[in-house]
Amino acid sequence: MPRFAILDPVTLMGQEIASEIQKRFPEADLSLFHTSDDEEHQISEIGGQAALVPPLNEGEFLSEYDVVLLAADRISPRLKVLEQALEDDATFVFIDASSLGHYRHITSPALNADAVTSGARLRPAHPSIVVADEVVRALAAFEPTALTIAAIEPVSIYGQEAVTTLAHQAAQRLQGDDVSEKIDKRVAAFNMTAVSGVDLVNEASLLFPDLEVAATRTLAGCFHGHLAILSLTFASTLPIKAAIRALKHAPGLSIKNSPLNIDGVSDRDGIWLTQLEASPGGHMLTLQAIVDGLHIGGAVTVAAMLEGFGKG
């Protein structure tokens, strides 16, 4: 029976991960802790049921677990317990699914169980890269040579507090007031901000070593939902009808005829794609995908990474 510890199941990401793991691995021994400054137990909803979440204290031996998952959305002194365990024990698997980026230097991006080995330090791949992986694998027979990703991300990547702050920003801007609270030092409401795509390029290049990769990132003023715009280049002219059939038969992918929009994205499962658009010469293919980043590149991707434990 695998032993999993989830740190901060009270966050947006943490609730989704805890529910997904409980559903996928019902026999697992699941322990919950929070890393906030609060000394009291917190309450998290997991699979429709309330669960008490005690604070993570010095006496907790995280090295006793097979996997420790982090879903925090802020830095806390309690994370020293995690950091000490990471330093002392090289055998348990650590998965950083937080919005912090604090452990990026010690973790590698992963898409599935192939990356989970003893002592692995991992993070789920960016939602747009998870989408690209599904598309690239579906079209592998047509030999793609290059991939471009344009990722447009919501404020929920910064956690629940940022979602609330966005609502306040919108109200203040509509009233003509100065915006009093910022999200990552910026005003997100009714706004879009282009940011560096270097980390995204590096991650995609690592996971797609056979492709030439380029990527951009834009932070959008919407609450939830990731938009990934993909462009694939092929050595030979792409047979578009065959490519559409390949994508339609790929598990987890759905091609929609009607225009996609971000509304209700949290109620959708899997990856929703727009119709494919081919270049006049037939060597390039462009499509768009909308996903819930709490699932794709989040809880669902984490569960896929842990599938080896489910078979054990």
User: How open is the CA angle 296-290-297, to the nearest 5 degrees?
Assistant: 15
133 burial (CB, 10 Å; 0-12 / 13-18 / 19+) is middle
Asked whether the predicted pLDDT for residue 312 surpasses 60, the reply is: no
Q: What is the pLDDT of residue 267?
A: 65
Domains of the chain from N-terminus onward: 3-106 (3.40.50.720), 128-292 (3.30.360.10)
- Tell me the C-alpha distance between 180 and 177, whole Å: 9
Among 145, 124, 148, which residue's Cα sits nearest to residue 287? 148
The values of phi and psi at residue 47, to 5°, are: 60, 35
Q: Which residue has the higher pLDDT, 58 or 95?
A: 95
Give the chain's mean pLDDT.
91
DSSP annotation string for 139-158 = TGGG-EEEEEEEEEE-GGGG
Instruction: Please give the DSSP secondary-structure letter assigned to residue 186.
Output: B
Query: Average of pLDDT values for 6-26?
Result: 92
Asked whether the predicted pLDDT for residue 274 surpasses 90, the reply is: no
Asked whether the predicted pLDDT for residue 180 surpasses 70, the reply is: yes
For the beta carbon of residue 280, count every other beta carbon within 10 angstroms.
Answer: 6
Asked whether the predicted pLDDT for residue 7 surpasses 90, the reply is: yes
Query: Percentage of the chain with pLDDT > 90?
Result: 70
Q: What is the pLDDT of residue 266?
A: 67
The values of phi and psi at residue 60, to 5°, are: -80, 130
114-150 residue pLDDT tens: 999 989 999 999 999 999 999 999 999 999 999 999 9
Query: Percentage of the chain with pLDDT > 70?
Result: 97
Confidence of residue 44 (pLDDT cuts 50, 70, 90): confident
Where would I find the H helices in the chain? 12-24, 79-88, 127-138, 160-174, 198-207, 240-248, 300-305, 307-311
Q: What is the pLDDT of residue 1?
A: 84
